Amino acid sequence: MTTTPRPPWPARLTIRRTTVADPLARPLLDELTHEYSTRYARPVDLSREYPAEEFAPPGGAFLLLLADGAPVAGGAYRRYDACTAELKRIWTHSAHRRRGLGRRVLAALEEDAAARGYSRVYLTTGPRQPEAKGLYLAAGYRPLFDLSVPPESIGPLPFVKHLEIPRP
């Protein structure tokens, strides 16, 4: 297996508000699909899981983190209820991990959701994704499950975080 060389760091990072259909999103979503299929030993089709319009304004958003114009990470949220955004599809490309990019995407999603009036965010991650669990705990998310119980016995691991809504 060949690996993509890492670019010199730090690259110029920008957030692009876009859609699931953006061609720049395809490599990240393809790798995410492969990762889920591999970790959970079952086929995954993200395009059938949720309609793309759920990740579009006014209730949702799809963000890409670009390094010098190339996609390195991304994530989305959709409306969960009147005051809650549900985070989905947070992903860092395998060639760009361990650089805090997932944390940047998380912060951008939280900021965007707060700007749209959401006062909290909710998410679930899979029990075979300890990296994601660690990210959410480190970012101040409160687990809605017992951390001492083996994750595989719980199923999807739910988290919640309250947001500061910006004042005009």
Between CA 97 and CA 124 the distance in angstroms is 20
Q: What percent of the chain has pLDDT over 70?
A: 90
Which pLDDT score, from 0 to 100, does residue 6 have?
53
**C-alpha dist (Å) from residue 82 to 25, 94, 106:** 28, 34, 20
Q: Span 59-80, mean pLDDT?
A: 95
Segment holding 26, helix H or strand E: helix 26-40
Which pLDDT score, from 0 to 100, does residue 30 have?
87
Q: Would you say how long the chain is, in residues?
A: 168
Residue 90 near residue 129 (C-beta atoms within 8 A)? no
Question: pTM for the full model?
Answer: 0.88
Give the range among 36-40, 64-68, 71-75, 110-114 with minimum mean pLDDT: 36-40
Higher pLDDT, 47 or 1: 47
* Number of H-type helices and E-type strands within the chain: 4, 7
Residue 3 above 60 pLDDT?
no
Which pLDDT score, from 0 to 100, does residue 10 have?
62
Residue 168 above 70 pLDDT?
no
Segment holding 27, helix H or strand E: helix 26-40
Between CA 136 and CA 129 the distance in angstroms is 11
Q: Span 77-105, mean pLDDT?
A: 92
For the record, the structure tokens of 20 come out as: 């699931």
Q: Measured on CA atoms in the order 11, 123, 83, 45, is the torsion positive or negative?
A: positive
Which pLDDT score, from 0 to 100, does residue 97 have?
85
Which pLDDT score, from 0 to 100, does residue 5 have?
56
Nearest alpha carbon to residue 102 among 151, 141, 139, 59:
139
**C-alpha dist (Å) from residue 64 to 19, 101, 107, 162:** 9, 11, 12, 23
Give the range among 113-117, 125-129, 154-158, 164-168 with minimum mean pLDDT: 164-168
pLDDT averaged over every residue in the chain: 89
